[in-house]
Amino acid sequence: MTPAKRLRKFEDDHFGDTPRVQGKIQRGHGSQFQNLSDKEKAEYAALENLVAAQDAHQQAVSHANAALQRLHEAAERAGVDPDDLDDEPEEAKEPEPQPEPPVDEGK
């Protein structure tokens, strides 16, 4: 079951057909959300975070795939076999430590 479906199942189990605004359960004073126990609120928040994390992951994968496609198209236009490209990025190097500036002792 996808994270979004898990969240919707939780909502259906705990809130039934409660009205939604822009697809979201209302949380204000007097809402059914306020009737949840602290444990249920924490579970709901965890499910919301899971949905957001999956969305972010899917977006990142989509961007990575698009970038790889652009890389391969550019390589072909440049007459380079895309399979000969090193697709692995180089490791980010740590910046060299900078010397401490001299301390002005007010002299």
* pLDDT score at 23: 85
Strand ranges in 1-107 using DSSP code E only, listed in sequence order: 20-21, 24-25
In the predicted model, is pLDDT for residue 50 greater than 90?
yes
What CA–CA distance (Å, rounded) separates 60 from 1? Answer: 21
| 62 or 84, greater pLDDT | 62
* pLDDT score at 98: 73
Domain boundaries, the chain: 3-80
pLDDT tens across 65-79, in order? 999 999 989 999 999
Q: What percent of the chain has pLDDT over 90?
A: 54
